[in-house]
Chains A and B, each alone.
Chain A
Amino acid sequence: MNPVLVMHQVRGGYGDADILHGVSLTVNPKEIVVIVGPNGAGKSTAMKAVFGLVKIRDGAILFEGEEITGWKPDAIVRRGISYVPQVKNVFAEMTVHENLEMGAFLAKSVKAEAFERIYTLFPDLKAKRNALAGSLSGGQRQMVAMGRALMLNPRLLLLDEPTAGLSPKYMEQIFQICRDVRDTGVAILLVEQHAKQALAFCDRGYVLATGSNRHEGAGQELLNDPEIAQMFLGG
């Protein structure tokens, strides 16, 4: 099976300083892959590199076998990758429905099925479709952000700390939604601060430290590794 995403020895950062010093990772179809690691490990930067938001000086990024290194974000969206930033990830002064419409902005015309698909995935949002996104709870906002990202039928979804600041109940709900999304055939790459819970729920995980790969493997495998437990997960 051909991988959806391959990042090979990527080096780069913002401005002149390198934050990533050779990061490699792979996402296979229908897989949830999580990136964990201590603060400043370059987790979010690695994800942003995929989406063309980081200056890449070395290495390559391939999506479905095509090199997308150095592409602009809108070209990457068209190619089939969507990205949900960690903060300010909804249009607060627009309705839930308008947020979804903006997600499909590049499509010019949107079919009603696209909205139905999102509302089926997030039933909470259907009732709130005419509410302003800014008036929703944190968990519901995260759903709006994910729904927006899913409007164009991406094959890969990038989520930057989707559970940051959410209660454990919402965290479970977001993880469940990720599984549901994965089951519709979308691969997911996410960055997580809650390393234990994330490794327990993902298919595979990567542990980054100071901008390079440290460990990789199945989620449970990594959780059981005493070294990782001690280094990053606080025992």
Chain B
Amino acid sequence: MSGLELINFYVIPGLISGSIYALGAIGITLIFGILRYAHFAHGDMATLGAYVALGLVGSLALSPWVALPIAMAITALVAVVLDRVFYRHLETRPKILTVMASLGVALMLRSVVQVVWGVDPQVYSTGIVRAESYGGLMLRSRELITFATATGLVLFLMAFLRYTRWGKAMRAMSDNPELARLCGVNNEAVTRLTWVIAGALAAAAGFFLGINTELNTMMGWSALLAMFAAAILGGVGRVEGAVVGGLVIGLVEELSVLVLPSQYKMATAFVILILILLVRPQGIFKGKVL
């Protein structure tokens, strides 16, 4: 196998699914870092985002790329409402209750998607898109847009966290919640902001998963393990860690096919998760130890 084949058939798909995992993992890592619990409904939130975009494409005949930002906004709103209705009143109880509640929310979101859109796989647009050659690199335009948009979203989020008043408040809350409150940071506002970001990015992850493959109601749930593995590999609470973790998991999954039967592709994320917990539980970027 030539180097170009390796890149075209394994590395590029790996980077694409890696960017998708990264978008999901960022939300997981932010929720873990700031609200201190594992959010198991994150995958199904991505599914919801993907289907909301599908609904916009179908009913308003929008281009999928126009539907994306609207779906992100709607899913962000849904995330804020879910927090208000299902998670907030558990705030003072042990975190495991919220984790279990999120499992329930996951099932609920999936059922809503199944009731509204049915259980058959769907696509944003029919027809075959041929890859174009860029000096031997075979790329589809949707793959380029996926990668560029994911990169743009990550850079935007990092700049937000680093330079803005509320971005710093989010980091402060993740770093030392008691002291953040003493500084007058409003816990509720930071929680809401966290859900807006996590919900919007989850919708983007679901959308890109759908546009690069197909939409089905289990898509988010199936990607959840890889997203958690990415967040933990990178270091819990670290946005840059979630990105690196996502790309690593995506690449390893694709490359594993070279040496393992392809049925084991999904299991590689699990293996990485166990290895990182054994060897370096704080993750690549020294996140919080769970």
Contact = CB atoms under 8 A, between A and B. Distances in A.
B172 A85 contact: no
B283 to A, nearest CB: 14
A85 B184 contact: no
A94 B182 contact: no
B280 interface: no
Interface of chain B: mostly helix, strand, loop or mixed: helix
Interface in A56-114: 73-74, 77-78, 83, 85, 88-94, 98, 101-103, 105-106, 108
Contacts of B183: 77, 102-103, 105-106, 148
Contacts of A77: 182-184
A101 B168 contact: yes
Contact of A92 (B169, B175, B178): B175
B175 A94 contact: yes
A74 B181 CA distance: 8
A105 B175 contact: no
Contacts of B182: 73, 77, 83, 85
B179 to A, nearest CB: 6
B78 interface: no
A125 B186 CA distance: 28
Nearest to B238: A93
B59 interface: no
Interface in A136-171: 148
Given A74-B184, A77-B184, A103-B183, A88 B178 contact: yes
Most chain A CB within 10 A, of B171, B174, B179, B180, is at B179
B179 A94 contact: no
B184 A94 contact: no
Interface in B137-190: 165, 168-169, 171-172, 174-176, 178-186
A102 B181 contact: no
A92 B171 CA distance: 11
15 contacts: A73-B182, A74-B181, A77-B183, A77-B184, A83-B182, A88-B176, A90-B176, A91-B172, A93-B171, A101-B168, A102-B172, A102-B179, A102-B183, A105-B172, A105-B184
A160 B182 CA distance: 14
A93 B175 contact: yes
9 interchain residue pairs of minimum CB distance: A74-B184, A106-B184, A91-B175, A105-B183, A93-B175, A102-B183, A102-B172, A91-B176, A91-B172
A73 B181 CA distance: 8
A74 B183 CA distance: 7
Given A91-B172, A94-B168, A94-B172, A105 B185 contact: yes
Interface residues on B, range: 10 to 19
Contacts of A92: 175-176
Nearest to A74: B184
A174 B121 CA distance: 67
Contacts of A102: 168-169, 172, 179-180, 183, 185
B282 to A, nearest CB: 12
Interface string A173-217: 000000000000000000000000000000000000000000000
Contacts of B168: 94, 98, 101-102
Contacts of B175: 91-94
B176 A78 contact: no
Contacts of B176: 88, 90-92
Contacts of A90: 176, 179
Nearest to A145: B179
Contacts of A148: 183
A78 B179 contact: no
A110 to B, nearest CB: 10
Nearest to B286: A93
Nearest to B171: A94
A105 B178 contact: no
A147 B262 CA distance: 57
Contacts of A89: 179
A90 B176 CA distance: 8
B36 to A, nearest CB: 15
Nearest to A73: B182
Most chain B CB within 10 A, of A83, A102, A148, is at A102
Contact of A85 (B169, B179, B180, B186): B179
A92 B172 CA distance: 9
Contacts of B169: 102, 105
A92 B178 CA distance: 13
Contacts of A91: 171-172, 175-176, 179-180
A35 B217 CA distance: 63
Contacts of A108: 165
Most chain A CB within 10 A, of B172, B176, B182, is at B182
A98 B171 CA distance: 10
A166 to B, nearest CB: 19
